[in-house]
Amino acid sequence: MEFHAESTKDKVLFLLKKESSMSVNDLKERLNISHMAVRKHLTGLENSGLIASKETKQALGRPTQFYYLTSKGEHYFPKNYEGLSLEFLFDIEELYGSEAIENLFIKREKRLVEEYEHRLQEQAPDMKMQTLLNIQNEKGYMAYLLKTGTDEYELTEFNCPILSIAQSYKTACHCETQLFKQALNTNQVHRVRCKTEGHDHCQFKIKFN
């Protein structure tokens, strides 16, 4: 997965972003560092307000402490100045109505289709999907690609740079799905998970005809 986690702190935040919540032992195994080192980084991140913890009861033994990102921690990842953009969208909707918002998203979708098609043209499915993965990571989506069968793929996005906008205007999610269909030249693109619906990530099932 494309993500520039230079320091151990970055790696901890990245893992919590990807997995939603993790215990000290989980982090110890993934980071390959000592229990004490994990504790030290978690304490520093908690003191900075980037993470918090909660106890979860286990089937056997004592409750386990799980760590997760706070709102401040979530903003550690790319957000594309979505707050300001959302305010502009609210103003446009108030002035010109909801149809103007739909037209804006359609115009954005057309512009992105041209951008993506230019980079995806004349490529076999594997190369197309790898290029799409690269594009999404360049745009801050923290994407991960898994090939699940012959010309079948699963694309997962652990971050949404326009989450606040998508939560207010679901058409943004629809446009992204349509964008993938047009840019990849396949109708078999299905969004099976979405952060706006309470999932931890967005996920697409993609198959080439």
- pLDDT of 74: 85
Name the pairing type of β-strands 51-56 and 22-23: unpaired
- pLDDT of 123: 83
- Termini Cα distance of the chain: 26
Task: Give dist(CA 170, CA 98) in Å, integer.
Answer: 12
Taking only the tens place, the pLDDT of each residue in 99-128 is 999 999 999 999 999 999 999 987 899 999
Residues of the chain with pLDDT under 50: 1-3
- Does residue 18 contact residue 41 with C-beta atoms inside 8 Å? no
- pLDDT of 161: 87
- pLDDT of 6: 67
Question: Which one, of 166, 168, 145, 147, lies nearest residue 156 by Cα?
Answer: 145
Task: Give dist(CA 146, CA 133) in Å, integer.
Answer: 10
- pLDDT of 2: 43
* Element spanning 28, H or E: helix 24-31
Tokens of 45: 């991140």
- pLDDT of 3: 46
- pLDDT of 5: 54
- pLDDT of 1: 41
pTM: 0.69
